[in-house]
Amino acid sequence: MQLFASFVFLALLQSHLGLTAVVKPSVKDITLDIVNGPAAPDGFTRASVLANGTFPGPVITATKGDTLVVKVNNKLTDNTMRRSTSIDFDGVFIDTSNIYNEGSPFVTTCPFGPGTSYTYTLPLGEQTGTFWYHSQLSLQYADGLRGAMIIYGIDIPSLISFGLGGVSDPEDPLAHLYDVDDESTIWTVADWWHNSSVPLFAQYLGNQIIPVADSGLFNGRGRFNGGPLVDYAPVLVTKGKRYRFRIINMSARSDFMISIDNHTMTVIETDGTPTQPMEANIVDVLAGQRYSVVVAANQPIGNYWISEYAVLGGGNPARNLNLNVTLGRGILRYAGAPIQEPTTPMTLGPADPNPVIEGNLRPPPVDFNLTFVTSMTANASSPSGFNTQWNINNIAYVPPVVPTLVKILDGANSSADFNVTENTFVFPANKVIQVTFPPSTEDELHPFHLHGNNFWLIKANNSDTLNEVNPIRRDVAGAGSGGTVVRFTTDKPGPWFFHCHIFWHFNVGLGSVIAGGLEETRERVRPTEAWENLCPAYNALPEDEK
């Protein structure tokens, strides 16, 4: 009845007020000024790289069918951090004809330097779900350039402005499970360092140990040992309502175990794809992953801890005495509860854990099989000059000077036309590719992310089952000691990055490129002059502006 009434009201608004933009796809202009500025999400002030001066950056919202026109102005001035930039819109499908707007440095584009701008045009098509944007250049997003991006099925922000908050997408098969889904129900979790990524990365290259974060953040706030008592971010709910919380792990390293005291969660989305509902009291979210969970506000009015225990990246607090994994949390606060912290202990999760187990599905038969063996080689010589490397099949990815897409447009046709260190796998268009990550002996869980596409998760790392019947689809999955199998199709011609979303690992070699349908790419891609000017401009920059 509530949904029916909402749509009657919507029809009346359209009829009497001419609000065609409420449901009609449109062009949405967004400006992101990338600036250096102070940030203190855990109370420690440091120089940062920020979108529109905030951490996290502003939330980008859109409606299915919209075209986003995102103008990014590079206003970076601090030469202690990277001054060029390039933006990736994680999980958003990019049509081959528009692949030059995909944002992967040295794969589909070049970064752009300080004092310049670039405009990303992103037709969203039929895609909906939970996404995010971040710098794809080196480790720059660890310095702060990251923000949420949500694509709704209908124009939720416009409806809220007319008093219709919580209206669900009529095409969402799970819309009956929740009452509220708006900007207030977005949860971001992130790791945070007090030093900038440039010296930390140099430290990592020297000792092969990823620097441990100083704190974990929930919705942009957190605490560290001995630091100020920053107010935890509250999430406001009304008793009796059901909320769709969209969880985005914006970490450069950390794996977060999310739980809410005295509440269960029902997973209904993974990385922009609806899933069969799965109830749990812990959701393990790897770097780059997104989940939507439904939570019923059905407990006594009060304050309840939201715990985000950091499993990785907070793994050895002895390496950073600032880190206290119990201090990463938020507060679920019911309307009518006092504005205070919960009086219950800060636990690391429920005493009777019931974690999410990633599901399975049966996609089409396989056309090509790949095996990706990940390994780490310390103190090795390589074209990258790194003292440590992460490899796929004994090859450490090194970004080429000429982006992969440029080479394809210039006539590259096979893997032999790319440098070995580009780790580029070439396939025909419209084929089914299966990638197997055998069980690893390394004590690491790598969240592998496929740009511009998603994949069927045939075997999850934490499951022994090969499920080809009803797999979930997502674009980030963990590969580690349990072994992982994914499948995807090359129905979107072009070069797409496939890499570990632990950016420390990615930046020392744990990356590859899946290049499908090279001839089809050349037929469909018609770059703009602005894109063609990016590489010459970037290559002409002095080193301190790159």
Q: For strand 455-459 and strand 146-152, is the pairing parallel, antiparallel, or unpaired?
A: unpaired
User: Residue 92 and residue 127: Cα distance in Å, rounded?
Assistant: 8
- From 437, 441, 415, 440, select the one nearest 428 (Cα to Cα): 415
H/E element holding 522? helix 518-524
Superfamily, domain 187-334: Cupredoxins -  blue copper proteins (2.60.40.420)
CATH number of 368-545: 2.60.40.420
CATH number for 2-162 (one of 3.40.50.1820, 2.40.50.100, 3.40.50.170, 2.60.40.420): it is 2.60.40.420
Residues facing residue 87 across a β-bridge: 135
The neighbour count for residue 90, using CB atoms within 10 Å, is 25
Same fold, 2-162 and 368-545: yes
| 385 dihedral zone (left: phi>0; alpha: psi -120 to 50; beta) | left
Sign of CA dihedral 332, 338, 344, 345: positive
287's tokens: 């770097």
Each domain of the chain, given as residue ranges in start order, spans: 2-162, 187-334, 368-545
> Smallest Cα–Cα separation from 331: which of 405, 402, 411, 262?
262
CA of 255: how far to CAs of 14, 139, 250, 478, in Å?
Answer: 45, 17, 10, 10
Phi-psi region of 211 (alpha: psi -120 to 50; beta: other; left: phi over 0): beta
Q: Are 298 and 307 in contact (CB under 8 A)?
A: no
Contacts of 177 (CB under 8 A, 6+ apart): 242, 244, 266, 268, 277, 294
CB within 8 A of 493, min separation 6: which ones?
96, 429, 516, 517, 518, 520, 521, 524
Q: Give the C-alpha separation, 413 to 138, whole Å.
A: 28
Q: Give the closest residue to 32 by CA, choosing from 86, 110, 105.
A: 86
* Predicted confidence pLDDT, tens digits, the chain (546 residues): 333 333 333 443 343 333 333 456 699 999 999 999 999 999 999 999 999 999 999 999 999 999 999 999 999 999 999 999 999 999 999 999 999 999 999 999 999 999 999 999 999 998 999 999 999 999 999 999 999 999 998 765 555 554 444 445 556 767 889 999 999 999 999 999 999 999 999 999 998 888 999 999 999 999 999 999 999 999 999 999 999 999 999 999 999 999 999 999 999 889 998 887 889 999 999 999 999 999 999 999 999 999 998 775 545 667 889 999 899 999 999 999 999 999 999 998 898 888 887 553 333 467 888 898 988 876 554 444 556 689 999 999 999 999 999 999 999 999 999 999 999 999 999 898 999 999 998 888 999 999 999 999 999 999 998 988 788 899 999 999 999 999 999 999 999 999 999 999 999 999 999 999 999 999 999 999 999 999 999 999 999 999
Are the C-beta atoms of 261 and 334 separated by less than 8 Å?
no
Distance of CA 296 to the CA centre of its chain: 26
Cα separation, 399 vs 416, in Å, equals: 16
Q: How far is residue 11's CA from residue 392's CA, in Å, rounded to a whole number?
A: 54
